Amino acid sequence: MSTTTSQNFDQTIHSLISKLVPSQRFMIYGCYGYTGELIVKLVRDCGLLKKVVLAGRNRSSLEDMLKRLKIDKSEVEYQVFSLDQDSEVIDEQVRKVDLVLLVAGPFVITSKAMVESCLRCGAHYLDITGEAPVFQSILENDTVKKQACEKDIILMPGVGFDVVPTDCLSKKLEEEFSSRFGKEKTTQPNAQLELAINVGSTAVQTSRGTTKSAINMLRQGTWGFPERVNGVIQPMPRVVKEFPFYKNGQTATQPVTCVSVPWGDIATAYVSTGVPNVRVYFSSSKNAATVAKIMNIWLFNFLFFLFFNLPFVVPLMFKLIDWFMPKGPEENPESRVHIYGELFHRDNPATYKVCGRAQAKAGYLFTADSALLIALKILTKTGLKKHSGCLTPSLAFGADFLNEIDGCKVEIVEEE
């Protein structure tokens, strides 16, 4: 196992591996991207290569990854096919496995074909998306939900850093709020869930793929960033707010400035908790917060929209990313991302309010651990609260699932 994982996590993974049926296998599609390679490395270190099918659309990229990781071609099955091909071609490969982990984005483009294939073939589906439209197309699609239950499979988008830590915190807050004030209070129109993510200075770097996805979201974020309002996702003015963050059991010495962002929880938290109003924030510099406020002015927003939709702008930015940006960040296994959450009634927060915090390791390392752990737990039917359907991580495993991952925790705190 990797030196970045703790002994307890190592034992958990190996315990799950021992429960696998000899015939069980799973596919990692898009395995040669930055995140995919981290997952494959973890699979290799676990001795799981005979249990996986590595797949993607580019043979040379896939074989180059095998060379980098010193994996002989005879040690693992790998397949080359595109999600643009006929459904029969995709189904031929998906039928070989019990579960597919999709790590090839942008997921708004790739997920549909793979979800449909998994439904036809009866394979579980996981991905590491953070894109709200993808979550909605699966978690809020009655037809897809019905088909998943009929096929007795689980479809679970977002098994990485977005959205596992925040989803577990959302569920933890909802359970505590329900315990104190009654379940019906969590779904009332004035119930508001707010999550703030403090990435700090060590975890803010992104991979090429994540950066491109962010640019695509900026391109689409014309009149503000989306949030959940009265049960519906809609664009709203950007919000700047300060939050306390808990580090090593203590609150931060100064509140941290944060700006609202289109994080995946605007889709998933509503499904997990039923809270009708959800907003997510990222820590920000004072200057960036000022820019966010300026962007709420109609004229600046319009100019922003025009710039990002000029035909040459996004393709040029993508080229620059490929030329000058490293494939992914060198994350410190010891660095931690801190998350603060509040669930309250907007018209009476003094009476109806609970607070919580979560901690996770840096995003890409977390995603590798989380994705593999979830895949193994689903394959072995370990710790599942529901065994089929379209699920979020917390609906499948409970709010405390985050505590099973190395260096992570989720808990309720009293407001300072």
Q: What is the CATH number of the domain that holds 88?
A: 3.40.50.720
Inside any domain, residue 306 = yes
Q: How many helices (H) and strands (E) does the chain have?
A: 15, 18
Q: List CB contacts of 410: < 8 A, sequence separation 6 or more.
A: 165, 168, 169, 172, 356, 357, 358, 359, 399, 400, 402, 403
- Please report, for the domain that includes residue 204, its CATH number: 3.30.360
The b-or-e profile of 38-65 (16+ CB within 10 A means b, else e) is: bbbbbbbbbebbebbbbbbbeeeebeeb
Inside any domain, residue 394 = yes
Q: Are residues 127 and 192 in the same domain?
A: no
- 188 closest CA partner among 179, 178, 173, 196: 178
- pLDDT, residue 94, reads 98
- pLDDT, residue 299, reads 65
Q: Are residues 176 and 66 in the same domain?
A: no
Q: With a cut of 70, say whether residue 209 has pLDDT above it.
A: no
Mean pLDDT across 153-160: 98
CA geometry: angle 45, 47, 49, nearest 5 deg: 100
Q: Are residues 393 and 315 in the same domain?
A: no
Inside any domain, residue 40 = yes
Q: Are residues 212 and 156 in the same domain?
A: no
Using an 8 Å Cβ cutoff, are 124 and 378 in contact? yes
Give residue 363's pLDDT band: very low, low, confident or very high (50, 70, 90): confident
Inside any domain, residue 322 = yes
Mean pLDDT across 408-414: 93
Q: Are residues 312 and 174 in the same domain?
A: yes
Most confident of 214-218, 242-246, 284-288: 242-246
Mean pLDDT across 6-31: 92
Q: Are residues 173 and 292 in the same domain?
A: yes
- pLDDT, residue 206, reads 63
Q: Are residues 224 and 296 in the same domain?
A: yes
Inside any domain, residue 39 = yes
Q: Which helix (H) or strand (E) holds 54?
A: strand 52-56
Mean pLDDT across 215-223: 59
Q: Are residues 153 and 199 in the same domain?
A: no
With a pLDDT cut of 70, the percent of the chain lying above it is: 84
Q: Are residues 299 and 182 in the same domain?
A: yes
Q: What gap in Å lies between CA 108 and CA 135, rounded to an integer?
A: 9
Query: How many CB atoms within 10 Å of residue 297?
Result: 11
Q: With a cut of 50, say whether residue 229 has pLDDT above it.
A: yes
Inside any domain, residue 22 = yes
Instruction: Please tell me the pTM assigned to this model.
Output: 0.91
- 131 closest CA partner among 30, 240, 219, 40: 219
Specify the higher pLDDT residue, 313 or 45: 45
Q: Are residues 253 and 368 in the same domain?
A: no
- pLDDT, residue 81, reads 98
- pLDDT, residue 141, reads 98
Q: Are residues 350 and 306 in the same domain?
A: yes
Q: What gap in Å lies between CA 154 and CA 309, rounded to an integer?
A: 37
Domain enclosing residue 88, as ranges? 7-160+364-398
Q: What gap in Å lies between CA 78 and CA 27, rounded to an integer?
A: 9
Specify the higher pLDDT residue, 78 or 314: 78
Specify the higher pLDDT residue, 290 or 229: 229
Inside any domain, residue 414 = no
Mean pLDDT across 347-353: 94
Using an 8 Å Cβ cutoff, are 128 and 357 in contact? no
Overall domain count for the chain: 2
- Ranking 158-162, 280-284, 374-378 by mean pLDDT, the lowest is 280-284
Q: Are residues 119 and 193 in the same domain?
A: no
Give residue 203's pLDDT band: very low, low, confident or very high (50, 70, 90): very low
Inside any domain, residue 416 = no
